Amino acid sequence: MTSTQTTPLRYLKGHGTENDFVILPDAENETDLPAALVARLCDRRAGLGGDGVLHVVRSAAHPDARAMADEAEWFMDYRNADGSTAEMCGNGVRVFARYLEHAGHVTAGEVAVATRGGVKRVHLDKDGSVTVSMGRAVLSEDGVTVAVDGRSWPARNVNMGNPHAVAFVEDLAHAGTLHDEPPYEPASVYPDGVNIEFVADRGPRHVAMRVHERGAAETRSCGTGACAVAVATARRDGADPAATGTPVTYTVDVLGGTLVITEHPDGEIEMTGPAVIVAEGTLDPAWLAGTGA
Ligand SMILES: N[C@@H](CCC[C@H](N)C(=O)O)C(=O)O
């Protein structure tokens, strides 16, 4: 892959519960970002390494976000590690807001971020954590059966802007290596692919999960996935805030930390977790041009 980029390309590296991202600031959307370049950036051996890319663009400068520009100045153009686009990334949007603060584009407090899944309001909390209003979950009766190593489970279909299949297992080890996407059927339920979560109970309103992400393989956390898991677990447990008028909070352990998810009676889901900027620098032009050895 070669690039025609002539000016040095700045990047940052960040993570939220170890779901890690290459951040590319590109306010005016001047950087050509083909799938192959995203995949090279996310390569953990020959690139910077990451589960995805957070392309930071002014909403007004991006065709997918122009309509949201009045509500949100900045657009999270999210790319999976394989270069595909995704509607939303829950950990990514927290790290995105942390970047906006780091770059001086916003001060501590609330910021609206445009995503392909709509505008998300993100609150930079005083204790260093970040809370996002993630919108509502859409649960569908159209489920699938997921299979790993001779075992299989029914999986709940939950849409958080992006698609999820949530399977309850006795032991997270039953999810196997997750090197490859676990087979599921009927495949027609998810024409655009799916993120698959495996969930095990840890205590009252407390679960742990592993995830195979669409476009990225197993990651150490998935924020939209944790929200899907919290809602699917609440319904399994007979808890429905819309019916009782009482918010329900679940703690979701992921391999890279912990996320706290609250579903409110109006259906709005809030997620709180960390967001960290790790490093920043400039990409080597020779590497970028594909001519570096
Ligand atoms: N890790 C993200 C989800 C990223 C997108 C996902 N792989 C998809 O294709 O839908 C999160 O924290 O939500």
Residues lining ligand 1, judged by CB closer than 6 Å?
19, 52, 80, 86, 89-92, 162, 195, 213-216, 219, 222-225
Q: How far is residue 54's CA from residue 92's CA, in Å, rounded to a whole number? A: 7
**Segments in 23-157 forming alpha helices (H):** 35-42, 90-102
Q: Which ligand 1 atom minimizes the distance to the CA of 223?
A: 12
CATH 3.40.50.1100 fits 10-134+276-289, yes or no: no
What is residue 288's predicted lDDT score, i.e. its pLDDT?
92
Indicate the pairing of strand 195-203 with strand 163-168.
Answer: parallel
What is residue 235's predicted lDDT score, i.e. its pLDDT?
98
Q: How far is residue 237's CA from residue 205's CA, in Å, rounded to a whole number? A: 9
Over the chain (293 residues), what is each successive 10-residue block's mean pLDDT? 66 98 98 96 98 98 98 98 98 98 92 98 94 98 96 98 98 97 98 98 98 98 98 98 98 98 98 98 93 58
Q: How far is residue 194's CA from residue 163's CA, in Å, rounded to a whole number? A: 5
Q: Which residues carry a binding-site annotation for substrate?
A: 19, 80, 90-91, 162, 195, 213-214, 223-224
What is residue 262's predicted lDDT score, i.e. its pLDDT?
98
Q: Which ligand 1 atom minimizes the distance to the CA of 92?
A: 12
Q: Is 24 exposed, middle or buried (0-12, 13-18, 19+ CB in 10 A)?
A: buried
For 282, the 3-state DSSP assignment is: strand
CA-closest residue to ligand 1 atom 3: 89
CATH 3.10.310.10 fits 138-267, yes or no: yes
What is residue 4's predicted lDDT score, i.e. its pLDDT?
57
Report the amino acid identity of residue 201: D
Give the DSSP H or E segment for 202: strand 195-203
CA 51 to ligand 1 center in whole angstroms: 9
CA 78 to ligand 1 center in whole angstroms: 9
Whole-model pTM: value is 0.96
Answer yes or no: are the C-beta atoms of 261 and 137 closer than 8 Å. no
* CA atoms within 13 A of residue 177's CA, in its CB half-sphere: 2
User: What residues does each domain of the chain span?
Assistant: 10-134+276-289, 138-267
Q: Compute φ and ψ for 73, nearest 5 degrees.
A: -70, -30
- Could you count the other beta carbons within 10 Å of the beta carbon of residue 98? 24
Q: How far is residue 17's CA from residue 20's CA, in Å, rounded to a whole number? A: 8
